[in-house]
A and B are shown apart, each in its own frame.
Chain A
Amino acid sequence: MQSFTQLTATAVPLRAENVDTDQIIPARFLTAVTKDGMGEGCFAAWRFGADGALDPDFVLNKECHEGAEILIAGRNFGSGSSREHAVWALTDYGFRTVISPGFADIFHNNSLKNGLLIVTLPEETVQMLLDLVEEQPDTRITVDLEAQRVSLPDGQQVSFPIDPYRKLCLLQGVDDLGYLLSKSADIAAFEAAMQPA
């Protein structure tokens, strides 16, 4: 897993609530048996018109947001399907952080297993960031995981919460599998003690 320590980048303001994983990657892009190239399907229904051409009005397609690595969106981001493809689509497209007032539980778990840092901030702070980035698209935002802090060029800073275990995994770039495998003896003991059904 890719580690995450600190990122300074521009952001895309996605002014929408309840962005579900069917929007992040529609089901028709889930037919692969690998994780490769999922960025192609990222927000496909919003990026492309019915004729398959890029929709110039959709915020991700605007030139001023090209190269942005931070996505800022409304509340309940990542709701719906458990598809981890949604996270693979966002990271393959180039995002390393998503900022929202709230994330759906399964998306939250999936993101942290792929080095995508999700930052939960109060609703009014997210609205302020959306306004700021819409007005000044070249604003570079710094996300510092170690300090659990988002900083703006004018010196404003805001802290964000993160579970200490998940933080450690992200900083070190390790996923849960190694940890779980290290518990093999405990798991075997648990299985041995299980009552037959």
Chain B
Amino acid sequence: MNNGLPRTLFEKVWDAHVVVQDAGAPAVLYVDTHLVHEVTSPQAFATLRERGLPVRRPDRTFATMDHAIPTRNVDITLWPSDAATQVRTLRENCEDFGVTLFDIDGPVQGIVHVVGPEMGITQPGTTIVCGDSHTSTHGAFGALAFGIGTSEVGHVLATQCLLQDRPKTFAINVDGELGRGVSAKDVILAIIAQNGAAGGRGHVFEYRGSAIRKMSMANRMTICNMSIEGGARAGMIAPDETTFDYLRGRPYAPQGEEWDRAVAYWRTLRSDDGARFDRELTLDANALQPMVTYGTNPGQGMAITGRVPTVDDLDDPAERRSLLGALEYMGLRQGQPMAGLPVDIVFIGSCTNSRVEDLREAAAIVRGKHVADDVWAIVVPGSKAVKAQAEAEGLDRIFSEAGFEWRGAGCSMCLAMNDDKAGAGKYVASTSNRNFQGRQGPGARSLLMSPIMAAAAAVNGRVVDVREML
């Protein structure tokens, strides 16, 4: 609680949401906003039905459909029966429990972590949860936002609260100027490569420093999105003028006097001078390079100018075993460069990198060029709004003329729940967040990178340093 000592951003938001904490039990944490999608919610709504419970705050609950839906065809009667069943079940649940649904048949729909911010639902200082680990995305606004399991989705539906142990704090300072061709995605991949895929466990990251302050909201969302890949459940960035400019006038943002009051409060949401973090890490933005992953966890990433590590580079036997297993799956050798590796598929999309800013940057690379022979390339906008904005700017034509498929909004090949699957053994240059075995299709080999790096891979048919094209 606030005892006058300097507090971190996380501590301010946490303290403001503890309803009660019994001795020997976790805190009862109030949830301001609950986001829901079709895959992790049906069993939670079923629990409410079994126990005869209502949704406590349907006005604080928002649903959309993104994970399982096809992005090629919006006609549900042509979908695989299981995806159609999940979508119909979500419609029924939202109808029966009075929850706002951004339906695929309506004007607003898309990846839950793209739709929440663009509707102004995501606001500084709030607590936001969703049955999806990339809920950490919303921390870019100075919200405390994290993923939960389906049991917890049920708890929030029924009580608007969660039982939570208080995490520790972890400051990540990124100071300096990013070089040309170095993106927010490279910053977060570099953080995870340095700190490890489990390095943030039990902590909430706060990204700070001049490089972060200069970033757009889209870039900040890319960074916070992958906090979970660094093992942290949440990542936060203190709100500032960039945040307020983004939110002003959005449908669910406060209006008029309420807006002024909200901004006055939001300005207090920063870590106080002298606030203590449990851990700290500092990166020099000037030294960062475009990144690419070579392995099967997001910590296995490297600068494009580098080479895949060898077992001699690693002291820890478990890390050595992990490297050898990853390289065997990936069909790569110790010590080889990643630049020059042929790619089969390029995927631009996902809650990490499917906002209009990402698409603009990628389009600038492919403009007037063509996807290499034998490469299958798709662009999946994060939401209907992103798709409409991109089309208004003519980005869809740039991609289509270059040989990319231009799709509807959804998660798509990030997790291959719909029909967008990479084949076994195929190399996928992907702007998504996870390079796990089989994540993008059984046997598929994911190479995580920024949108401009993926665009460069598409037109060259191999992994390249995008800076050669700038």
A26 CB contact (under 8 Å) in B42, B154, B233, B442: B442
Q: Are A197 and B325 in contact (CB under 8 A)?
A: no
Tell me, yes or no, whether B39 is within 8 Å of chain A by CB. Answer: yes
Q: With contacts defined as CB atoms under 8 Å apart, how many contacts are there between chain A and chain B in the complex? A: 187
Min CB distance, A162 to chain B, in Å? 12
- Mask for A70-112, Cβ within 8 A of B = 1, else 0? 0000111001111111010000000000000010111001100
Could you tell me which residues of chain A, from 17 to 65, have a CB within 8 Å of some CB in chain B?
17-18, 20, 22-23, 26-28, 30-35, 45, 50
Interface residues of A in 138-188 (CB under 8 A from B): 163-165, 175-177, 179-181, 183-184, 186-187
A123 at the interface (CB under 8 A from B): yes
Interface residues on B, range: 35 or more
Contacts of A110 in B (CB 8 A): 149-152
Partner of A79, one of B132, B197, B319: B197
Q: Does B112 contact A (CB under 8 A)?
A: no
Q: Are A197 and B161 in contact (CB under 8 A)?
A: no
Contact of B258 among A80, A123, A184, A196 (CB under 8 A): A196
Nearest CB of chain A from residue B441's CB, rounded to whole Å: 9
**CA–CA, A146 and B48, complex, Å:** 31
Query: Which of B86, B132, B254, B437 is packed against the most chain A CB atoms within 10 Å?
Result: B437
Residues 266-292 of B contacting A (Cβ, < 8 Å) = none
Q: In the assembled complex, how far is the CB of residue B41 from the closest CB belonging to chain A, in whole angstroms?
A: 9
B1 interfacial contact with A, CB 8 Å: no
A33, A45, A74, A163: residue with the most chain B Cβ atoms closer than 10 Å = A33
Q: Are A33 and B86 in contact (CB under 8 A)?
A: yes
User: B431 in the interface, Cβ–Cβ < 8 Å?
Assistant: no
B438: nearest residue on chain A (CB-CB)?
A: A45
Chain B residue contacts of A79, Cβ below 8 A:
197-198, 231, 297
- Residue from the list A17, A87, A175, A183 in contact with B19, Cβ < 8 A: A183
Contact of A33 with B85 in the complex, beta carbons under 8 Å = yes
Cβ B161 vs Cβ A187 within 8 A: yes
* Alpha-carbon distance between A50 and B443 when the two chains are bound, in angstroms: 9
Interface hits, B194-242 → A, CB 8 Å: 197-198, 201-202, 228, 231, 233
Given A26-B438, A45-B438, A197-B262: A187 and B201 interface contact (C-beta under 8 Å): no
Asked if residues B133 and A15 are in contact (CB atoms below 8 Å), the reply is: no
B197 A76 Cβ-Cβ under 8 A: yes
Q: How many residues of A contact B (CB 8 A)?
A: 56
Which residues of B have CB within 8 Å of A82? 40, 131-133, 147-149
Question: Do B197 and A106 have beta carbons less than 8 Å apart?
Answer: no
Rounded to whole Å, the gap between the CB of A50 and the closest CB of chain B is 6
A112 to B380: give the CA distance in the assembly, Å.
36
Residues of A within 8 A of B47 (CB): 177
Of chain B, the residue at the smallest CB distance from A32 is B82
Q: Mark B38-57, 1 if CB is under 8 A from A, else 0.
A: 01101100110001000010
Question: What B residues does A196 contact at CB under 8 A?
Answer: 258
Among listed B20-28, B70-78, B392-400, B401-409, interface-contacting one: B20-28
- Given A80-B434, A82-B131: A187 and B160 interface contact (C-beta under 8 Å): yes
Chain B residues close to A by CB (< 8 Å): 19-20, 24-26, 28, 30, 39-40, 42-43, 46-47, 51, 56, 67-68, 80, 82-83, 85-86, 89, 123, 131-133, 147-152, 154-155, 158-163, 165, 167, 197-198, 201-202, 228, 231, 233, 254, 258, 262, 265, 296-297, 318-319, 321-322, 325, 415-417, 424, 434, 436-439, 442-443
A-B contact pairs, 23 of them (CB 8 A): A16-B321, A18-B197, A18-B296, A30-B67, A30-B68, A31-B417, A76-B201, A79-B197, A80-B434, A105-B202, A106-B233, A113-B149, A114-B151, A163-B165, A176-B151, A176-B152, A177-B47, A177-B151, A180-B162, A183-B19, A183-B28, A190-B20, A196-B258
